[in-house]
Structures are given as C-alpha cells and as structure tokens.
Amino acid sequence: MTDTPFVPAPRASSPVAPDASCVLLKHGEVFLKGRNRHRFVDRLHDNLRIALRGIGGSTWIKIAQNVTVLGGQVPQEALVERARRVIGFNSVEPAVRVPSTLEEITQAAVRALRDVSTERPGRGFAVRVRRRDKQFPLTSSRMAGHVGARVLEAVPDLHVDLTRPDIVLAIEIDRKETYLSWTRRPGLSGLPVGASGRALVLLSGGYDSPVSAHRAMRRGLACDFVHFSGAPYTNPASVYKAYALARELNRYQPPGRLHVIALGKAQKQLAVAGAGRLQVVAQRRLMVRTSSALAARTGAQALVTGDSLGQVASQTLANLVAVDEAADLPILRPLIGWEKQEIIDEARSIGTADVSVLPDEDCCQLLAPPRASTRAELPHLRAVEKRLDLDEVTEALLGNVQVMLPGEDGEAAPPPTPACPTPEPA
Ligand code: ATP
Ligand code: MG
C-alpha cells in the first residue's frame, strides 16, 4: 500500500485562541452507570462548580463524552489542585486546546514536546491520538505518525519509544477543538459525593474516623459530622480537632455540618448507673442512639464510624453487635478490614493525619475502666440503661447541640466556641 501525501481539507476556523491552557478531567465510575448516568454526571459537575468557588477568577466547564474540560482566568495549577479534590474523576490532566486543524495540532505538539525535552532531554516519547470527531481527515494512527515525525524533526533530543515511553503525548480530537496533554495526575475516582445519599459520620479526633468519612464520600455519600466531647469534664481540644478535621474533609465535598455534643454528664450518669467494665460500649451505644435521632434532622440515611474489627477492645465483634443494637439506622464501617498502618498512610495522603496526631482529651478516656470488656453482655447493658431515662438523656443531649459549618466556600471560617471552655473535675 502506498502512503499518499496528505493534504488537509480546509476547515471552518475556530474561535479558540491557540494554546489556551485547560484541564481534562476523565470520568471515573460514572461512566458505568447506564441509563442513570446523566444524574451522576450532573452531580459530578455540581460538585466541581462548588469546589471552584472562591478560586479568584472566572472559570468555565465544558462537558464532552466521558471527559470534562475545565478552564478559566486562573492559573492552570490552581484548577488542577481544586479538581483533584473532586471525587469521581479518574485522572486530572493539564492540557492545551487548539483548533482542530492539522497544522495547529502539529505545532502545539512540537511546542509542548520541545518544552518537555528542555526539562528532560534524551527521553523516549509516543503520540497517542483519539479521534472523537470521525470527520477529521486523518485516522488516529496516521495522525500519530504525522505528529511523531514532525516532533522528531523539530526536537532531535527526543526519540520514539512506543513500548515504554517516558512521555506520552495524548491528542484528543473533537470537532472544533483538540486537546493535547502529556502529564496525568491521578484523581480520586469513586462516585460523585451525594449520588448515594447522605450519612452522618461519628467523628472523633483520631486517625480512623476521618479516613472512614473520606471512604464513605468516595462511594457517593454526602457527609455531615457529629463529635461528642467530654465537656464539661474535658478541655475543648477535641472540639478544635474535630472542627479542623471536618474542615479538611469538607474540601472533598459540598461542605457538611459539624454537630458537637457535650457527652460528659451523660457519661457520668452511665458510670453511676453501674456500667463498670462496659462503660465504653455503653457510651458508644448512647452515641449511636443520639446520632440516630440527630440523623432525622440532617436527613442522613446511615451512620458512619471508623471501627476496624478487633483494633481495640470496643471493636470486637460482640461489642460492635451490641452497638448496632442501639442504632436506629444502619452503621457503615468502611474501615472494618483495614490495618492501623494502612489507615495512617491514607490519613497522610488525604491530609487529616497532621490534625489527628495532635493530643486531646478524648471523651472515651474519661471514666474508661482500667480493663474494658471485650464481650459486651447485652442484658447487663440494658439493665444499666434502664436505670436512666434514655429518652430524656438523648433529648437533653440534642437540646444542646452546637452546629458549625467548617470551611464553607474554601474561606476561613470562624473557629468554634467550645461548649465548655473550663473543664470541671469529673
Ligand atoms: P478514631 O481514630 O476514629 O478515634 P479509634 O481507633 O480511636 O478511632 P474508637 O475510639 O474505639 O476508635 O472509636 C471507634 C469509632 O467510634 C470512631 O472511629 C468514631 O467513628 C466513633 N467515636 C469514638 N469516639 C467518638 C467521639 N468522641 N465522637 C464521635 N465519634 C466517636
Ligand atoms: Mg477514638
């Protein structure tokens, strides 16, 4: 077969400025969603718009098949940073866009690879072309060959390597515009936040619950948070931590609210009622009972905790089952099979570890027995709870909830006013 020289057909001129920078966002699991797909994609774009609030310049979003193009009057790196926190994109690729003509595309490719080769000379490259517009006069493979040859001519420092290239130049040809990208940053993948409903996360100050919240978000749950402090018997450090954690987590979702509940007095009531070695499990039951009632106000369909099976005494199977019994809603435990080190590594990568490591006075340490029971005895727990008027206790707890919205719009939010600044002796 002879390879006839190609003469590009004249195409309508496009309004796109040459080399306008933009960002390509490749869709993750939403593209498996069949008939419901538009619902997921709409949600993904709503979340993206919310994540772009306060970025400091105008932005635009263009929606194509399985890819979203993002651009605007802001530095490309700022767009990449924001987009990488939006759950539901598999990859985030800084790109340039040019009109879909052979010459514009080729020149942009040469410019891009010349810049790359100045930074990293002597590298192997490959050109991968995807033609979404089948009207484009060259097939994908011929276009790749054409661009590759022109790059080789213009940038002799590079060589072609189709099997293990150091640089992959991706060219995606749409009808009017073509996108060229050569760096690919991983996105968070998963389902768009909100696509699976709402949940209420029990957020302590440790490593586990923030990671668990993040995992829940990645499966499409929009999360509100509840933190139980030991007030009035503990200092407010745990509240500050919960606030900072919720703020960090809110950068991955349309901001959720943080509810802070002072549990100290109720903890003392449980101790006085004779909880003994079951004190921690009794407290946990009270937390989920109260959280279930709170969920009715926040519209949550499930609770989320950071439990990991067997990690500590309160997380044995028997104790988890005893806690489940007290909840009116399903308790989701995304970290049930995770090791502590995996959790800490993930906390580092999502940015919550720096807060979790700070010291605090966790309400669970307050009144904790020297040896906690690993086998909750339900009759004993029920007997202890019977000595209290649980409805009254829960009502009192919910009557004094402090509600905050950490980090809305990416702006600095006011720090929380602690429920009780000066701890009383327990
Ligand atoms: P974490 O790192 O989340 O504190 P942990 O290993 O310390 O976890 P526990 O203290 O046993 O675990 O708590 C198990 C789960 O119960 C937590 O992950 C969290 O979801 C919930 N929880 C515990 N304490 C509180 C609290 N003070 N406020 C809200 N939720 C809590
Ligand atoms: Mg804890």
The CATH number that applies at residue 83 is 3.30.2130.30
Q: How far apart are CA 45 and CA 194, in angstroms?
A: 12
- Atom 2 of ligand 1 has which residue's CA nearest to it? 206
- Residue-wise pLDDT for 28-71, tens only, equals 887 676 778 888 999 999 999 999 999 999 999 998 878 999 99
Q: Whose CA is nearest to atom 14 of ligand 1?
A: 307
Which of these, 257, 253, 256, 255, lies nearest to 47 by C-alpha position? Answer: 253
The answer to whether residue 93 sits within a structural domain is yes
For residues 322 and 286, the answer to whether their CB atoms sit within 8 Å is: no
Is-contact 226 256, C-beta < 8 A? no
| pLDDT > 60? residue 167 | yes
Tokens 């009622």 -> residue: 273
Both 173 and 213 in one domain: the answer is no
Beta carbons of 264 and 229 less than 8 angstroms apart: yes
235 with 88, same domain: the answer is no
Residues 6+ away with beta carbon under 8 Å from 241: 205, 355, 356, 358, 360
Q: How confident is the model at residue 102 (pLDDT cuts 50, 70, 90)?
A: very high
In this predicted structure, which of 86-90, 233-237, 294-298, 361-365 has the lowest mean pLDDT? 361-365
Structural domain includes residue 238:
yes
Looking at residue 410, its pLDDT comes to: 43
Q: Are residues 373 and 248 part of one domain? A: yes
Q: How confident is the model at residue 80 (pLDDT cuts 50, 70, 90)?
A: very high
User: Average pLDDT in the 362-382 region?
Assistant: 78
Q: 409 or 165: whose pLDDT is higher?
A: 165
Instruction: Tell me: do 244 and 174 sit in the same domain.
Output: no
Listed residues 186, 209, 231: the one ending a domain: 186
Task: Check whether 1 has a pLDDT greater than 50.
Answer: no
Ligand 1 pocket residue status of 24, Cβ below 6 Å = no
d(CA 57, CA 54): 8
Whole-number Å distance between alpha carbons of 73 and 324: 51
Question: pLDDT grade, residue 15 (50/70/90)?
Answer: very low
- Whether 244 and 111 share a structural domain: no
Q: Quick check: is 142 in a domain? A: yes
Instruction: For the beta carbon of residue 34, count every other beta carbon within 10 angstroms.
Output: 6
User: Residue 369 pLDDT > 90, yes or no?
Assistant: no
Q: How far is C-alpha 235 from the geometric centre of its chain's CA atoms?
A: 30
Q: Are residues 211 and 307 in the same domain?
A: yes
What confidence category does residue 17 fall into, taking pLDDT thresholds of 50, 70 and 90? low
How many Cα neighbours within 13 Å face the side chain of 32?
A: 9
C-alpha distances in Å from residue 128, one per residue of 94, 124, 143, 304, 329: 16, 13, 9, 43, 50
Query: Predicted confidence band at 14 (pLDDT cuts at 50, 70, 90)?
Result: very low
Query: Which ligand 1 atom lies nearest to the CA of residue 206?
Result: 2
- Same domain, yes or no, for 123 and 171? yes
425: pLDDT confidence band, cut at 50, 70 and 90?
A: low
Say if 228 falls within a structural domain. yes
| Ligand 1 atom nearest to CA at 205 | 4
The reply to whether 47 and 182 lie within a common domain is yes
- For ligand 1, is residue 207 a contact (CB within 6 Å)? yes
Total number of residues shown for the chain = 426
Looking at the domain assignment, is residue 300 inside a domain? yes
Q: In this structure, what CATH number is given to the domain that contains residue 333? A: 3.40.50.620
Same domain, 175 and 213: no
Residue 214 predicted with pLDDT over 60 = yes
In this structure, the answer to whether residues 207 and 143 fall within a common structural domain is: no
Q: Pull the structure tokens for residue 103.
A: 């010459």
Cα angle 174-180-184, degrees, rounded to a multiple of 5: 120
Q: So what's the pLDDT on residue 426?
A: 59
Rounded Cα distance between 115 and 388, Å, is 72
Is position 3 within any domain?
no
Domain end, chosen from 137, 155, 186, is at 186
pLDDT in tens, 121-151: 889 999 999 998 889 999 999 999 999 999 9
Residue 304 domain boundaries: 197-404
**Where does residue 88 fall: left (phi above 0), alpha (psi -120 to 50 degrees), or beta otherwise?**
left
Q: Is the pLDDT of residue 11 over 50?
A: no
pTM reported for the whole predicted model: 0.89
Distance (angstroms) between ligand 1 centre and the Cα of 306 equals 6
CB 194 within 8 A of CB 254: yes
> d(Cα 312, Cα 295) in Å, to the nearest integer?
26
Q: Is the CB of 363 under 6 A from ligand 1?
A: yes
- Residues 161 and 201 placed together within one structural domain of the fold: no
Q: What are the tens digits of pLDDT across the range 379-410?
A: 999 999 999 999 999 999 999 999 999 986 44
Q: How far is the CA of 207 from the centre of ligand 2 (A)?
A: 8
- Single-letter code of the amino acid located at 47: N
The reply to whether ligand 1 has any atom less than 6 angstroms from the CB of 305 is yes
Q: Is 228 in the pocket of ligand 1 (CB under 6 A)?
A: yes
Mean pLDDT over the full length of the chain: 90
357 C-beta closer than 6 A to ligand 1: no
Q: Considering its fold, how many domains does the chain have in total?
A: 2
Q: Evaluate whether residue 103 is within a structural domain.
A: yes
Which residue type does 207 have?
A: Y
Among the residues of 201-273, which ranges form H helices?
Answer: 208-218, 237-250, 264-272
* 203 shares its domain with 159: no
Mean predicted confidence (pLDDT) in 348-358? 97
420 in a domain, yes or no?
A: no
Percent of the chain at pLDDT > 70 equals: 90
* Domain end marker among 186, 206, 240: 186
